[in-house]
Structure formats: structure tokens, C-alpha cells
Chain A
Amino acid sequence: MSEPLSAALVARLRETVGFDHVIVDPDRLFVYESDGLTQYRAAPKAVVLPATTDELAAVVRLLVAEGVAVVPRGAGTGLSGGALPSVDGVVVGTARMNRILSIDPENRLARVQPGVVNGRLTEATRPHGLYYAPDPSSQSTCTLGGNVAENSGGPHCLKYGVTGRYVTGLTVVLGDGEVLRLGGAGRAPDDALDLVGLFVGSEGCFGIAAEIEVSLLPVSEGVRTLLGIFETMEDAGHAVTAIIGAGMLPAALEIVDAATIRAVEASVFAAGYPTDAGAALVVEFDGTEAGLDADVERAATCCREAGARDVQRATDEAHRLALWKGRKKAFGAMGRIAPDLLVQDATVPRTRLPQVLAGVAEIGRRYGLEIANVFHAGDGNLHPNIIFDRQDPDQLSRVEAASKEIMALCVEAGGTITGEHGVGVDKRQYMHLVHGSDELEAMADVKAAFDPMGLFNPGKVLPDAEPRSSGESAMVTESVS
């Protein structure tokens, strides 16, 4: 365990944000030891919770002046260990920066603090006929600041794109405590670089977004959902290819495999998917009411021609939610049957999906591991879920080896090691699979342009720096991902 923060620094932090908002009590620090990827744990020296941009900047200045690392944290729902504390650092949480600052329906914009929960923004803008498009599965708890850090996606980004498309401006606090406004709607300064686009997805390594300006979309007039049940995964894949090939652009195209269907149906989340099916495909269209029935009809035809044994169309909202249930509850259901569940994330070109899925299954067989697949088929974003028991060291080493092979397989197929969960601490070891040393050095050079002292989220994303989680507090070693 490293040296605790000096009493003087704790006192000054408390003066800045209020006594209760600087946490140093080990019992209260416990909940901050990991994010959604609980395999990694480390205790921070302290957690500081500022409420305003000024407080945030002051906190960063105090910490940086003492050379203390800053680990930004939103809701802690990330799945790559991006918010894993640094044992010689302080977690700066945005939980109290949770105000929606303005909603501007005329210009379809909103300004928010980073701790605003994704789903809350959509709720707040819906009365204006608007919504915030990116919808990560954790949208009821994840924060927009976290979404900016991770460039989060979601099932509907096939049609609407990921977070970066909707962020029009940022106020950021950088490594020296400087508060900078980047971009902003309604302005196109001469010779400007896209610093907003560069900041989005920087995983807390460039600075902290203190204010976020996002564009909103008009709520679709209608939505239609269709569920196709297939004998084999291959058939479901053919249906996806046929739908895209026919020039349709569904809002979502999601596949749930046989292992996942069985897990869901065996759980309290049973959605009524047939347990002997090879795969289920959820297709959703949204937009102007008038065109939707024709779209659904064409997609249903694609499914039948690809060999679907059953095609159901939602007839009302309750039915629609029921069709989605097997997809949305997949992780929850598997979490219940498995002692531990590793949610993997990788992207491949869509046409390589059948080959890659066959490869993933083969890797699972070879290592004696059950791997269940749930994925965003429309954009080639896979989530192979490996069921394991972390108490069993032999299983752990097999999970580690299988994960690495899956990543290599995806990269070989022209894909990448993460589509939406980020690199964090978990995938640093795979960065060499997709990037050469020149690219990694360029990333380090650009990080230094934002964070010259290297104090923002050290040990994340880039593989060269050593992770700072302490050996004794990590429940599982770094090699397990």
C-alpha cells in the first residue's frame, strides 16, 4: 500500500468540495475499488466528488500540484477497467455533477454535466419530441461523461452512430487544471482541428469533460420489431446479410445464440424463445410510420428465405418489449447461471461474422469453455461471453488463453479488439495485435499534448505503462481478461 494522502491535501480538498465529498474511510472506499469489470480491484487513496466545473478544476490543480494521479469515474459501469483506481492516485467522481444545464429544442441541443445518466437525458428531452440517440445497454445507470470517455455505442448505433457523432462541444479540465472549451454548435472557426472528436473515446487519459453539449434527434414516429427464430447461427447470419444487401437500414439487428437462449429461458428472465433454436435475430425499424410495415415485411421475407422457422412481429408495445427481452436480459441471465462471466467485446467486418463465430466456437471447444454469443450483428460487434469460475486457477488460465485467441482471430479477420467497451486496463495487452509501435507511440505523443505530466488515468489504454493496481488487492491477476 502506498503512502496515504497528506492531511494538508485532504483538508484542502475538503475545503474545495465540502467535508463529506472527500472519501478516505476504507469502508466507504470499498465500492470504488472496481468498475463493471470486477476482476480488477485496487483501493484508491481517496475519492473526491466535486459538484461544479470550478470545483473539478480546483481539485485537479490540487492533485496535480502534488503529483497525485487522477482517475476519472462516472457511474463505474465500464467493462474494461477504465475506472480501476490507481493505488497511488485519487478517484475523481462525477456523481454530483448531475445537472442538465439546458435543453434547447429550437437547435436540438442539450448541455449537461458529466454525471447526468444517459437515460435521464432522453427522458428530459422527450416532452420536446426529442431524444439522445446513443443507448448503451447500461443506459439506465451509465453517465454521459463516461459515454464521452468510452465513445459508447449501443444496439441502435447501427443506424444512428455512436457517441462521437452527437457530441458537438465540450468543456474539459486538462492535466494542469486548465478549463478549456472545445468546439460548440453554431461555430466553425477557421483552421480548427476536431479536438472534440479526438477527446471523445480518450478513456479519461486526456482530461475530464466538465460540460458536454450534445445534439438531439426527433423521436421517431413509429417503431416495428421482428423476431426471427433460426435452426442455425449461419442461417441467422444469412438473414442479416440479406437485409443489409436489400438496402434496408434497420435501427437494430441483434443476434442471440443457442447457449444464450438456453441461459435466458432457464432464468427468471425467460422470454419465450424456443430452447432448441440455433439463433434468434431481433430486427427493429424506426422512422416515419408510413414506411415501416413495408420494411418489416421485406425483412420478414429475408428471414424466411434464409430459413427462419418462425418469424414473429410485435403487435403492440408489450409484445415488442417481450421480443427484446431475450436480448436485453442475456447478460443478467448468464450472470445468474455462471459463477463468473467474462463479457468480451470485439468487432469484425460483418461479412466475416460466420467464419469468426465458427472460430470462437472452436476455441471454446478446444479450451473446454462454454462461450455464449450475443452481438450487434448489423455492425459486426461481437460479445462472446465466457462462463467460468474464478476460484479455479486452471479455468482462469484457459479463459485467459481463449480470450487472447479470440482477439487474435477477430484482428486476423480484419476486425479490432474492442468495438464499444474500450481498452481500459483489460485490453492493453492486446493493443499490439492491432497497432504497431509507430501507432502506439503516436497515441502516447497525442496524450502528452493533453496531459504533459501523465497524471490522468495512468496505466490505461497504452500497453507500455505498467498497471498501478496493487498486487495484493487485485482479486485476479492482470493476465485474466
Chain B
Amino acid sequence: MSTLADVLPVEALEDVGSAPELPGADATVDAFVRPLDVAEVARAVRWALEDGRCVVPVGTGRHLHRMAVPRRCVVLSTSRMRGVETYEPADLTLTAGAGTPIAELTEALAPHDQWLPFDPPDAESRTLGGLVASGLSGPLGTGYGTLRNHVLGATVVRGDGRALRLGGRVVKNVAGFDLLRPMVGSRGGLGVLTSVCVRVFPVPQADRLLVARADDPEQLVAAARAVATAPLLPASLVLVAGVEGHGGAAALLVRLHGARATVDADQATLERCIGSGLEVLEGEDARVLVRAARDHPAASGIGLASVLPACLGPALEAVRASVGSVDLAADASAGSIRFAFPAEAASGLAGLREALEGLGGSLGLERFPADLELRREDVVTPPGPGEVALAERVRAAFDPSGVYWPSTSRAAKSSVVGVG
């Protein structure tokens, strides 16, 4: 039996003790590798496959709290596959290593007045590959479309160690089945992303934040719905409560992007829709508020309630009734509510799941308190039964031996991997 040192250069081998801690009770990290490129990833994956170990792909490793790793594994960090590979400002496309931090991409884009309009929690510190694997794009999806629509290409090492070059670097591409699409949000379960090409966008001339405040979020639901059905598309529409920077009260944050004249006119339209004046912020003041609403609070649990946007009011009530008066940020256009909860409130989750499913929605968990008696699968909404079976067949098509987690969830359905 070969050792990892036989297949990877010494620079790619890290001390196991320095690997991110895996929360699963049975997790044993056998090795921690940081491959330099796709060839080294392929060698590491083939080695793990032959040796009966699973591979846990890790970006920054910050979302490992979502995982429970059931058996011996190799933690594979993408952090050395870092840097911009090609950037054509005039094409509005950028390709970079999967381990490149978003902050580094933002820096590369800024001199050309371009940016990535994705604002998931803690966006800057995520890696490009982790962002794609998480599938989170944040409330800016309202104005720009979500991340899934802007990933143009990727290189992925599938479960048998073969590298796939999916998509390309053009905006329109229908040359064959779209194997790239399920990579977005695959959470490391279909393969290791080593390189990603994304569409980038021009920085808008004006970025204006309009704020309406109230004591309770329920008082702002009608205004949020009025904006969501107004004859215009804001960049984002977020209802927050209890979030730092808002003094614990509730606020509706509407972001308008575009030419200054457009933003002025849209603001006037919104004031007519809501029937009152809005506080106007630009620059650093706006950034602080937007960021406070965007980032994950330091709570032990974070849930994600999803419903149709028109059900935002009842969903909000259900969240507050089930887990108490919590910190929350709702994307009022998408109909999703991200809420923080302390471990002692977790007993309300099962009831919340029932209430949300009764509204035709779902409950997911972004962060799960590790020391609970509660089982994760009892509180999250699974995909439909037929969908689960089909998803497993698709996972098996990419990863027939189940080398990646959560493809091993076929054997141990106890948790979900997040790669960030």
C-alpha cells in the first residue's frame, strides 16, 4: 500500500494536528493535504479511494460545523490553489483557483470598476470554491440573479479521481448536458472544485440604501411586500431584527443600484409604494448596516426558513413563536428568513418545521448546535422522496464509490457537509 508521501510532494502534506477540527464524534482525520493543482488533487483522491478513506474538501473550513464525518478521512484544503488565472475585464469574466479568497477577487476587480454581486454571510472571507460549493449568493440575488446563473465554468475532480472541465468562459453555452449547474450548492458532495470561472459585473454608478425602521419586524412586513411587488427591481430587499447596528430594533433595508437618475426615480416610486419617507444612506454608513444584516451572528444555531415571498408574514410569526424573539435577517424578495437561535431554543425547531411545511415552505439549518440531543434530520425539511432518490443516482454518477462526503450520507444520513 502506498502512502500519501508516495503520491504527493512534501509541500502538499500538512501536519494532521493542524487540520480543521471535525465535529463528528467518530471523525478521524488520517491526513491533511493541501494540493497545489488539479493533478495533485486527483492523486490525493485516488489514494484515498484505494485506501478506503473519504475525502473532505475544505475551503476556509469555517463551515465544518455542519458536518459529522463518519469514518477515516483525508481533509483536502484548496488553499494553495489560489490566485486569478485569467481576467478579461472587457469580457466581464474571471477565472481563479478555487482556494482564492473572495476578498482577493474583489481587490483584483476594483481597479476596473467591476465586482461580484454576491453577498452571502461573511462573503469576503469565503473562498471562490467554497462560495460555489455552498451555493449561497445572498439577497443581491434579487437584482442580479443568484450565483447559480453566473458560474460559467469549473474544473472538478470527480469521485474516481478524473478531472472534468465543465462549462467554459462564455456567458451562453449549451454544448452538452449542464453538469456545472449541480456543482453550485453541491457542498463538496460531487467533487473537488479546483478552479472556477464566474461572470463579473460593472460597479453601479450609485449604490443607495433606503431604511425604514420599527420596533418589531412584523410592523415592516407590509412595507416589505409593497416593495417586493412594486414595478421595479431593487438590488436587494432585507428585513432585519435584533441585528447589531440596528439597536435591536427592526429595519427594512432596500438597496438600489444603477445610474443616479434611475436610483432617484426608483426611490420616489418606493416612497409612494410604502407611503412614507425613507432614511437614505450611502457610503460607509450604508456598508456597516448592510454588512451587519448580512453576516452570521455568533450564535450556536442558525436556521433558514424558506417560504413563498407572499407568506413572509406568517413565516416570520412562526419563527418568532417557535424559537423566541431572535436575531433574524429575511430576504423579502426570495422569501427566506435566516435566524440565529441559542441551544436552549432548539426544542422549538420541530414545531417550526411543521409550521413552515404547512405554509408550503421548508426549514434548513446553516449551523447546528453540536451538543444537542436533537437529531438534525428531525428538524430539517428533506427534498421530496423521488428527488432524494434521483439526487443519489446523480451523486453516484459523479462519485460511484462514495469517496466524498456527503455522498457517504447514503451510509450514514446523520448530517450535512458544508464547505466554505
Residues in A with CB closer than 8 Å to B258 are 287-288, 291
With contacts A105-B229, A200-B181, A288-B258 taken as known, whether A195 is within 8 angstroms of B170 at the C-beta atoms is: no
Q: Flag if A415 contacts B309 (CB, 8 Å).
A: no
Question: Is B119 positioned at the interface, with any CB of A under 8 Å from its CB?
Answer: no
- As a 0/1 sequence over residues 179 to 222 of chain A, the CB contacts with chain B under 8 angstroms (1 = contact) are 01110011111111111011011110110000000000111010
A245 touches B90 (CB 8 A): yes
Tell me whether A380 and B170 are in contact in the complex, defined as CB-CB below 8 angstroms, given that A190-B365, A194-B148, A247-B202 are known contacts: yes
Q: How far is the CA of A200 from the CA of B205 in the complex (A)?
A: 34
Say yes or no: is B411 at the interface (Cβ < 8 Å to chain A).
no
> Could you say which residues of chain A place their CB within 8 Å of the CB of B311?
186
B395 within 8 A of A: yes
Tell me the smallest distance from the CB of A308 to a CB of chain B, in Å: 19
For residue B91, which residues in chain A have a CB less than 8 angstroms away from its CB?
A: 349-351, 380
Let me know if A76 is at the binding interface, CB within 8 A. Answer: no
**Given A190-B381, A288-B258, A288-B262: A349 and B169 within 8 A (CB)?**
yes
Q: With an 8 A cutoff between CB atoms, is B106 at the interface?
A: no
Contacts of B173 in A (CB 8 A): 347, 416, 418-419
Contact of B13 with A by CB under 8 A? no
Given the interface pairs A351-B91, A415-B168, the reply to whether A218 lies near B145 with Cβ below 8 Å is no
Q: Which of B383-402 contact A (CB under 8 A)?
A: 383-384, 386-387, 390-391, 393-398
Q: Is the CB of B179 within 8 A of A446?
A: yes
Interface-centre pick from A294, A376, A462 (highest chain B CB count, 10 A): A294
Expressed in whole angstroms, the Cα–Cα distance for A191 and B168 within the complex equals 26
A448 in contact with B397 (CB, 8 Å): yes
Shortest distance between the CB of A91 and any CB in chain B (Å): 21
Contact with B along A24-55 (1 / 0, CB 8 A): 00000000000000000000000000000000
- Is A381 part of the binding interface, using a Cβ–Cβ cutoff of 8 Å? yes
- Cβ-closest chain A residue relative to B185: A194
Contacts of B261 in A (CB 8 A): 290-291, 294
Binds B, one of A258-266, A324-332, A436-444: A436-444
A151, B93: Cβ atoms closer than 8 Å: no
Known contacts A190-B416, A192-B387, A195-B182, A347 near B307 by CB under 8 Å = no
Q: Which residues of A contact B182 (CB under 8 A)?
A: 193-195, 197-198
Interface residues on B, range: 35 or more
Instruction: Check B232–A247 contact: CB distance below 8 A.
Output: no
* A225-243 Cβ-contact flags toward B at 8 Å (1 or 0): 0000000000000000100
Distance of A189 Cα from B391 Cα, bound (Å): 12
From the candidates A157, A195, A288, A289, name the one contacting B390 in the complex (CB within 8 A): A195
How far does the Cβ of B120 sit from chain A's closest Cβ, in whole Å? 13
A422 and B175 alpha carbons, distance in the complex (Å): 6
Q: Could you tell me if A187 and B398 are in contact, using CB atoms closer than 8 angstroms?
A: no
Least Cβ–Cβ distance between B334 and chain A, in angstroms: 9
What is the bound-complex CA distance between A446 and B158, given in angstroms? 12
Interface centre among B172, B309, B335, B364 (most CB of A within 10 A): B172
Segment among B53-61, B97-105, B159-167, B212-220 that sits at the interface with chain A: B159-167
Q: What residues of chain B lie closer than 8 Å to A164, measured between beta carbons?
A: 149, 178, 181
**B176 A431 Cβ-Cβ under 8 A:** yes
Inter-chain contacts of A203 with B (CB < 8 A): 177
- Residues of B within 8 Å of A245, CB to CB, are 89-90
Q: Please give, as numbers and ranges, the residues of chain B lying within 8 Å of A109 by CB-CB distance.
A: 308
**CB of A335 closer than 8 Å to a CB of B:** no
Selected from A153, A200, A379, A436, the residue in CB contact (under 8 A) with B165 is A436
Contact partner of B233 among A165, A217, A348, A439, CB < 8 A? A217
Task: Determine whether A280 belongs to the interface, using a CB cutoff of 8 Å to chain B.
Answer: no
A174 CA to B202 CA, complexed, in Å? 41
Q: How far apart are the CA atoms of A290 and B259 in the complex, in Å? A: 9
- Residue of B163, B175, B181, B202 most packed against chain A (CB within 10 A): B175
A162 within 8 A of B: yes
| A350 partner, pick from B90, B233, B361, beta carbons under 8 A | B90
Interchain Cβ contacts within 8 Å, total number = 269
Q: Which residue of chain A has its CB nearest to the CB of B180?
A: A197
Contact call B264/A290, Cβ cutoff below 8 A:
yes
Question: Could you tell me the distance between the alpha carbons of A105 and B310 in the complex, rounded to whole angstroms?
Answer: 10
Q: Is A272 an interface residue (CB 8 A)?
A: no
Which residues of chain A have C-beta atoms less than 8 A from B148's C-beta?
194, 197
**Residue in B203, B230, B397 whose Cβ sees the most chain A Cβ within 10 Å:** B397
Whether B25 sits at the interface, judged by CB under 8 Å, is: no
Nearest CB in chain B to that of A130: its residue: B231
A310 within 8 A of B: no
Tell me whether B181 and A419 are in contact (CB under 8 A): no
The interface on chain A, measured as residues whose beta carbon lies within 8 A of the other chain's beta carbons, has a size of: 94
| Interface: B362 (CB within 8 A) | yes
Contacts of B170 in A (CB 8 A): 347-349, 379-380, 414-416, 419
- Is B19 on the interface with A (CB-CB < 8 A)? no
Q: Is the CB of A178 within 8 A of B90?
A: no
CB-nearest residue of chain B relative to A217? Answer: B233
Min Cβ gap B383→A in Å is: 4
| B50 interface residue per 8 A CB criterion | no
Cβ contacts B49-72/A at 8 Å (1 or 0 each): 000000000000000000000000
The answer, among B177, B186, B361, for a CB contact under 8 Å with A187, is B361
Find out whether the CB atom of B175 lies under 8 angstroms from the CB atom of A193.
Answer: no
Question: Is B360 an interface residue when CB atoms closer than 8 A count as contact?
Answer: yes
Tell me the minimal C-beta distance from B179 to chain A in angstroms.
Answer: 6
User: Are A442 and B184 CB-contacts (below 8 A) given A349-B170, A423-B174?
Assistant: no
Kindly state whether residue B23 has any CB partner on chain A within 8 Å: no
Q: Would you call A244 an interface residue if the criterion is a C-beta within 8 Å of the partner chain's C-beta atoms?
A: yes
Output the least CB separation between B185 and chain A (Å): 6
Q: Give min CB distance, A42 to chain B, whole Å.
A: 22
- Whether, in the assembled complex, A2 has its beta carbon less than 8 Å from a beta carbon of chain B, the answer is no
Among B205, B363, B383, B398, chain A packs the most CB atoms within 10 A around the CB of B383
B1 at the interface (CB under 8 A from A): no
B380 / chain A contacts, CB cutoff of 8 Å: 189-191
Not counting A191-B406, A417-B175, a sample of 12 additional A-B residue pairs whose C-beta atoms are within 8 angstroms of each other reads A151-B174, A181-B386, A188-B304, A198-B182, A294-B261, A416-B170, A419-B174, A423-B174, A427-B175, A438-B164, A448-B397, A449-B393
B residues lining the A interface (CB < 8 Å): 88-93, 113, 135, 145, 148-149, 158, 162-166, 168-179, 181-182, 184-187, 189-190, 201-205, 229-233, 258-266, 269, 304, 306-311, 335-336, 360-365, 380-384, 386-387, 390-391, 393-398, 406, 409, 416
Would you give 29 A-B contacts (Cβ < 8 Å), ordered by A?
A105-B229, A109-B308, A180-B386, A180-B387, A185-B335, A187-B306, A189-B380, A189-B382, A190-B363, A190-B383, A190-B416, A192-B391, A193-B186, A193-B189, A197-B148, A198-B179, A201-B174, A287-B258, A288-B258, A291-B259, A294-B259, A295-B259, A347-B171, A347-B173, A414-B170, A439-B165, A446-B179, A449-B390, A450-B393
The 6 closest A-B pairs by CB, nearest first: A291-B262, A197-B181, A290-B265, A247-B202, A186-B308, A419-B172
